[in-house]
């Protein structure tokens, strides 16, 4: 649900949900390296798995999936390869298959915190909230400095209106990972839900310092300014959101209201 890539956007204001299924983003420059490794050692599960990561980072998910499947066939007891395959299944919308692979990875490596967190994200996606919470809590127990797990857990509590708990978890995530822009955004939403517009505005501005190209955060910032009656500031942020994402109907509606000076 960050923290590592794409995010789901739901509700209004814009809540950034769940870190991406954790992948190593350093593979995008290693495609030629791992192609060469596979050519030299085609029966190496490690080489096949790493080639899959490089292919995925280079926008070739189908070829990546084939490499992961081969890696798992070569080393069925390799938990890392199982997680890579699960990530690829999840990215392709094959949720049931992904869940099975995460469960196998966890059975092979019971202290695999990342697999627990990724499994939690999938459980949450399909509405199994209690199972998701259990996975996030286990991930944190196994890896107490796991910022993404705190962030994902906080999102669940925020959507359950357990705002105080969510705020503390977002803060913890940000102590551990200060450049987690989505955590600043969602912490801002938590503050805003309590009527703390000034604190929310500070969070949104921090999020934009880290990621100035996020239309959703500009929208949330505009809403916070609108709530405070600062119409010019609201209008500026709604306009910034539209420049980044022209097909954003909610922003257009609020921009019209701001232009008319309505509360």
Residue 223 domain flag: no
Residue 251 domain flag: no
| Domain carrying residue 136 | 8-166
DSSP secondary structure letters along 171-190: HHHHHH-TT-HHHHHHHHHH
Residue 86 domain flag: yes
Q: What is the CATH number of the domain that holds 46?
A: 1.25.40.10
pTM for this predicted structure: 0.84
Q: Are 15 and 166 in contact (CB under 8 A)?
A: no
Per-residue exposure over 100-112, b if at least 16 CB sit within 10 Å of its own CB, e if not: ebbebbbebbeeb
Residue 122 domain flag: yes
Residue 142 domain flag: yes
47-70 tens-digit pLDDT: 888 888 888 888 888 999 999 999
Residue 215 domain flag: no
Radius of gyration of the chain (CA): 20
Whether pLDDT at 19 is above 60: no
Q: pLDDT value at position 10?
A: 34
15 or 192, higher pLDDT: 192
Total domains, the chain: 1
133-170 tens-digit pLDDT: 999 999 999 999 999 999 999 999 999 999 999 999 99
Please state, in angstroms and as integers, the Cα–Cα distance from residue 17 to each residue in 1, 69, 101, 162, 185, following that order.
5, 29, 22, 16, 10
Q: pLDDT value at position 7?
A: 33
């Amino acid at each position: 649900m960050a923290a590592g890539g794409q995010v789901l956007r739901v509700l209004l204001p814009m809540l950034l949900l769940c870190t991406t299924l954790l992948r190593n983003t350093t593979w995008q420059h290693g495609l030629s390296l791992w192609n060469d490794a596979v050519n030299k050692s085609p029966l190496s599960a490690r080489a096949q798995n790493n080639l899959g990561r490089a292919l995925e980072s280079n926008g070739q998910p189908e070829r990546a999936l084939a490499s992961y499947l081969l890696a798992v066939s070569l080393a069925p007891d390799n938990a890392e390869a199982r997680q890579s395959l699960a990530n690829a299944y999840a990215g392709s919308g094959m949720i049931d298959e992904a869940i099975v692979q995460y469960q196998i990875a966890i059975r092979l490596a019971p202290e695999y915190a990342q697999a627990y967190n990724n499994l939690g994200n999938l459980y949450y996606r399909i509405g199994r909230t209690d199972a998701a919470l259990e996975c996030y809590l286990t991930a944190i127990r196994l890896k107490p400095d796991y910022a993404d797990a705190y962030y994902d857990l906080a999102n669940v509590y925020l959507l359950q209106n357990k705002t105080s708990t969510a705020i503390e978890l977002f803060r913890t995530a940000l102590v551990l990972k200060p450049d987690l822009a989505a955590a600043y955004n969602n912490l801002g939403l938590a503050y805003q839900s309590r009527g703390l517009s000034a604190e929310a505005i500070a969070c949104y501005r921090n999020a934009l310092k880290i990621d100035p190209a996020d239309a959703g955060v500009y929208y949330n910032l505009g809403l916070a300014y609108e709530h405070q009656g600062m119409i010019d500031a609201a209008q500026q942020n709604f306009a910034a959101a539209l420049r980044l994402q022209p097909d954003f109907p909610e922003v257009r509606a609020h921009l019209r209201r701001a232009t008319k000076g309505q509360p």
